[in-house]
């Protein structure tokens, strides 16, 4: 597949990029994408949810009444879960939600996601650019000129650019990442992929 490279003003630069078929032209595998997205989301979880059980709440352990003859249920202390302020039964405990996937499977999932975007013609290439200072309005102007849309735009840079990142931080529908940070979830969660020229070469160099 061959795509035009645009300038930041939206005009064509005259340069064309040929997308690697091993990355942008494979038959997407939905299950691989599913596994990688599930792993990514699971790894974002803190796993710090915690409640106190009856051994941890601050109450006296004094028996409330005699064992028999009280006319009601027998109770050992106010720590029982049926009382207000008592311990919780089967509450959440701190745990690690992280899972593992093979590197080849994760790469296959990323390439499947990129192939989906290529088939849907939702990839835009732009010439390398820089910003002298963080300007949200300027970044919006660039994305508008590229006709990238205004919802869920993923900008992929070949290397970190602090000013471009800071310009996007106040835009909930725009996410800026480097090629090292690209992942299946970010690709699938975007409507349009804006790639700076050179990113495709870095991806191609990492094909194993």
Residue pLDDT, tens place only, 56-100: 999 888 888 889 998 988 888 899 999 998 999 999 999 999 999
* Average of per-residue pLDDT values in the chain: 92
Residue 98 has a pLDDT of 93
Q: Give the residue-averaged pLDDT of 126-145.
A: 92
Residue 76 has a pLDDT of 87
DSSP result, 60-118: -----S-SSSSSS---S-TTSTTSTT-PPTT------------HHHHHHHHHHHHHHHH
Question: Tokens 């495709």 label which residue?
Answer: 200
pTM score of the predicted model: 0.83
Per-residue b or e along 59-88, where b marks 16 or more CB atoms closer than 10 Å to that residue's CB: eeeeeeeeeeeeeeeeeebbbbeeeeebbe
Distance CA 170, CA 19 (A): 32
Residue 12 has a pLDDT of 87
Domain positions in the chain are 2-29+100-205, 51-91
Superfamily of domain 2-29+100-205: Ribosomal protein L4/L1 (3.40.1370.10)
Res 120 pLDDT > 70: yes
Question: Tokens 């732009």 label which residue?
Answer: 126
Token duo for residue 93: 């405990």
pLDDT digits (tens, 9 = 90+) for 19-64: 989 999 999 999 999 999 999 999 999 999 999 999 999 988 888 8
Res 208 pLDDT > 70: no
């Amino acid at each position: 597949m061959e795509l035009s490279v645009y300038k930041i003003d939206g005009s064509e630069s005259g340069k064309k990029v040929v997308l690697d078929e091993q990355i942008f032209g494979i038959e997407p595998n939905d299950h691989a994408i599913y596994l990688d997205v599930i792993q990514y989301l699971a790894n974002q979880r803190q796993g710090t949810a915690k409640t106190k059980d009856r051994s941890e709440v601050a109450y006296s352990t004094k028996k409330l009444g005699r064992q028999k003859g009280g006319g009601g249920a027998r109770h050992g202390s106010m720590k029982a879960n049926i009382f207000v302020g008592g311990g919780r039964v089967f509450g959440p405990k701190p745990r690690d939600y992280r899972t593992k996937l093979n590197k080849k499977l994760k790469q296959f999932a990323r390439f499947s996601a990129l192939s989906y975007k290529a088939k849907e013609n939702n990839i835009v290439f732009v010439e390398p650019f820089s910003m002298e200072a963080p300007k949200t309005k300027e970044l919006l102007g660039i994305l508008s000129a590229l006709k990238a849309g205004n919802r869920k735009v993923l900008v992929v840079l070949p290397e970190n650019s602090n000013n471009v990142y800071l310009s996007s931080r106040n835009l909930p529908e725009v996410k800026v990442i480097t090629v090292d940070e690209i992942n299946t979830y970010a690709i699938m969660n975007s409507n349009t992929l804006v790639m700076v020229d050179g990113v495709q070469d870095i991806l191609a160099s990492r094909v194993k």
